[in-house]
Structure 1
Amino acid sequence: MNIDGRAWRTIGLEPDGRSVWVIDQTQLPHRFVTRSLSTIHQAAEAISSMVVRGAPLIGVTGAYGLMLALQDDAGDEALSAAFDQLNATRPTAVNLRWALERVRDRVLPLPSEQRAEAAREEAGLIAEEDVAMCSAIGDHGLTIIQQLAAARPAARRSKPFQLLTHCNAGWLATVDWGTALAPIYKAKRAGLDLHVWVDETRPRNQGASLTAYELGREGIPHTVIVDNAGGHLMQNGEVDAVIVGTDRTTSRGDVCNKIGTYLKALAAHDNGVPFYVALPASTIDWSLSDGLVEIPIEARSAQEVIAIQGRVLDGPAAGSVAEVQLTPEGSNGFNPAFDVTPARLVTALITDRGVADASEEGLKSLYGLD
């Protein structure tokens, strides 16, 4: 996607082919910087500290992390240890284990001297496939947006099509295009008049800092709102559709996404607003059926609730980025990173293969499974 007129992806090989660069998303939106990863420990830290985040991008970073590990030691024990270290960094997003298993299975039959190069090739393939899947999600989602826009009452057709999204499921969460934002980018480029309500997405504010950053660079009209404003907007007819991403989707269509997604789904259901979830195949966990029971929910540091980062507006430190405490001394914080939205609240799943009902039958029909 575009930043100041230049096309960017979120991750890529450095010129030496032995290390990886990533966009440091903890610095956005006030600073745009890249970071070089040359060891498995740096890759693991980048994932756990959310230098990189978003289920698809976590998976690609993990794949390259195995490459970095194998460059130092390509033995079976080292491979197993590297797999476990990377897999433990973020427990909820299924893409991570999927990508790690794919690289591991590719290199295991090979002699040790060939493993690092094979891992590099496989990680590159995973990255390219992610771009293609996200572009396809955008195409299928564009069709839905066009149909919904055309079906609006005549009085509303002269107004922008109003979408609401939660967290960041754009190109910063993938290698390029994104999942939930891909249809929005495609709609903009197709000439559709639209506007996006961007949930701030506390506590890490991925909507306010990342989604708003992306949309602004692409010239898409948007407004940042507090997380609790979505239901009010839906009640007053200011939302035509909701579209979000997912970090893990069960075989029957339950979706696990950033905390607060479930509340948006409830509000949408109560107000008759379509609620769509966009995802690539790598986000489907076919081994799970009941998301509420089986998906592990990552609990992150309470510090993310207690404090917030932002740019100083005035005074001697104006323009600098600082972290400030929100709560009184001694107050505790609880920080579940995700929640589960039951399939019954999902209008449809927008995948790289097409649009499906949020059900086991719907997903299997797309992926040719019995």
Structure 2
Amino acid sequence: MVKEANKITYSKIAELSGISMATISRVMNNSTNVKEETRRTVMDAMRQLGYDTTDLEAIAAKSNDLLIFNIPSLDNPFYSLIIKGAKASAERNGYNMLINEDPIDDRSIDTFIALLKKTNAAGILSTNCISKQNLMKLDAILPIVQCCECDPSLDIPFVTIDDVSAARNAVEYILSLGRRRIAFINGPLQYKYARDRLKGYLEALEDAHIERDPDIIIQLQEINYDMAVSAVFQLLNSEKRPDAFFASSDVYAAAAIKATKRTALKVPRDIAIVGFDNIELSSMCSPSITTVNQPKFQLGLLSCEMLIKRICKEQIPIRSMYMDTELIVRETTQKQSPISRSPLQ
């Protein structure tokens, strides 16, 4: 490779790029002691002089073996299996992964970019909600792939689910149980999942000719169990008491069970509950939670595979991937069997 480059000569590259021959030599030998901006300038000059830099770029990309996985919160158990899936893909492909728990917004974007440069990261995986402007800014710096959250209007690959369809199906199931006053517990609307699950909930009600009631839609600003318990308890003690809850998170569904137990009501006799995500908590609760299963491990695995292909400049067959969901029926919606009594009773 170096011999082929020498046919062009370092001096010609230096003349065109304005970079010293010593630095050009470090780029050619894939030294880590070169700024990424300088490396790009040298590569651009080499391409202008007719040199195919594909192999050299692939080697440079592979030497940067750190992936940054940006998530909104480590407190949310939903992300644990996604992280495991992403790490499995990273390890299999020879990459390391750094978990970053920070928002990416106009106030923090420069700090995050500084982290990318300081760690010499090869690419970004994110489950965070990021504005279109900041997504474009990050994509111009490093390969990025979105997981769960996404912006379909941009040419940035993502792996997610159809939250609208999944929510609509869940509410239709609750309606099939004969419940008509279905409350909704939802998360922050800046997230795609919250907006789309709200949309699916409302579509199911509209299809069933049930009027929307804003008073039974609980809109929370974070995934917080205690806040959800308090909000559900207040609603259960109001004049507009629902006969079912659809929750955009299993954490909220567990909170609905807790709040119901504080009243004289029973789950599922009086209150049916359906959650979302199928985290471990959903099967551990008593009663266990009927919930929408997301293939969390696969979401992390496939989004990381996409990212590595982008880093290695491979063609991605599918840039927008929607994975299937499944409704897991458990005790919070199952009909209770009547208690059998002996003739003497």
Which TM class, normalised by the smaller chain length?
A: 0.3 to 0.5
TM-score w.r.t. the length of structure 2 is 0.40
* Rg (Cα) greater in structure: 2
TM-score w.r.t. the length of structure 1 is 0.38
